Amino acid sequence: MAPEEAQAALEAAKGFRAILTIGTNPLRNRQALALAEAHPHIWASVGLHPTEARLLSPELEADLAYLAQHPRVRAVGESGLDYYWTPETRTAQYRALDFQHALAHRLNRPLILHVRSKEGDQAEQEMAQWLRHNRPARFVLHAFAGHPGLLAAGLELGGYFGLAGPLTYKKNQALREAARQIPLDRLLVETDAPFLPPEPFRGQRNHPALVRFTLARLAELHGLGLEEMERITDQNAQACFGF
Ligand SMILES: [Zn+2]
């Protein structure tokens, strides 16, 4: 993000009580932590994204373990399974996932999970299985896309579901049906910025302030007012991340 763009996004997000900004590799983890140290309402997550799993090494593991215990870091991840961009690193993705799960468990932090397949739903099916086998104490299915098996596993194990811009896309009726089935105390909203901007901003760069449009759609789906849903998701984020 260009500096002036980043400044504008920060300005627009000043009304937020708390933002969790996400690390995905050693450089991004440091950038996330620097933002969290500079702004009292921003917190960081540090992790190794499944598409970067090939970077996994003993040095990187030590670096993650070091960063994750910083008091401004409130989650581990994004971790997960991505067979859309990097199906060839499946073994490394599992190693990175298991490592981050153990780290999150040891530090009593939630684990943020990214799950994406190219065709079919192999990553989603495998993640549902992995969750049932490993039972992380606190986890977030981030940018949840509505997969029924993952929904079932997440509900069964008491996970949080991060809803992003696609909740507002016209064709995503199945995702909206899934979101309606998620209990109120498991709902989170997120941007996935700069990706997945909500309607009516599709095609533009996403930024934190646009999360309001996803929140509005979520409120409507649960038959609540915007402010009530804002209060609920604030409370959930606080319970999940300990802001
Ligand atoms: Zn992701």
Q: Ligand 1: distance of its center to the CA of 221 in Å?
A: 23
33 within some domain: yes
Angstrom CA distances, 201 to 7, 21, 198, stand at: 19, 21, 6
137 within some domain: no
SS in 3 state form for 124-162? HHHHHHHHHHHCCCCEEECCCCCCHHHHHHHHHCCCEEE
Give the pLDDT confidence score for residue 4 in this predicted structure. Answer: 72
Find the mean pLDDT for residues 116-138: 97
Find the mean pLDDT for residues 85-113: 98
Same domain, 113 and 166: no
Q: Ligand 1: distance of its center to the CA of 142 in Å?
A: 6
Residues linked to residue 73 through DSSP beta bridges, in sequence order: 44
Last residue within a domain, chosen from 79, 106, 127: 127
Higher pLDDT, 121 or 15: 121
Domain CATH number, residue 100:
3.20.20.140
Give the pLDDT confidence score for residue 1 in this predicted structure. Answer: 53
Give the pLDDT confidence score for residue 111 in this predicted structure. Answer: 98
Nearest to 169 by CA among 188, 197, 192: 197
Least confident segment among 14-18, 94-98, 120-124, 129-133: 14-18
Give the pLDDT confidence score for residue 16 in this predicted structure. Answer: 86
How many domains are there within the chain? 2
Q: How are beta strands 42-46 and 111-116 bridged, if at all?
A: unpaired
pLDDT for residue 189 is more than 80: yes
pLDDT for residue 28 is more than 90: yes
Nearest to 161 by CA among 137, 177, 145: 145
Q: Ligand 1: distance of its center to the CA of 230 in Å?
A: 22
pLDDT for residue 8 is more than 90: no
Give the pLDDT confidence score for residue 154 in this predicted structure. Answer: 98
Question: What's the mean pLDDT when you consider all of the chain?
Answer: 95
Q: Ligand 1: distance of its center to the CA of 126 in Å?
A: 16
Angle at Cα 85 formed by Cα 84 and Cα 88, nearest 5°? Answer: 95
150's tokens: 């993952």
Name the residue type at position 172: N
Share of the chain above pLDDT 70, in %: 95
Q: How confident is residue 15, by pLDDT bands cut at 50, 70 and 90?
A: confident
Same domain, 232 and 181: yes
Q: Are 21 and 43 in contact (CB under 8 A)?
A: yes
Q: Domain containing 174: what range?
A: 159-243
Question: pLDDT tens-digit profile of 142-163?
Answer: 999 999 999 999 999 999 999 9
Q: Ligand 1: distance of its center to the CA of 22 in Å?
A: 9
1 within some domain: no
Q: Ligand 1: distance of its center to the CA of 49 in Å?
A: 8
Same domain, 172 and 123: no
Q: Ligand 1: distance of its center to the CA of 138 in Å?
A: 17
Q: Ligand 1: distance of its center to the CA of 50 in Å?
A: 9
Alpha-carbon distance of 164 to 215, in angstroms, equals: 9
pTM: 0.94
Q: Ligand 1: distance of its center to the CA of 40 in Å?
A: 24
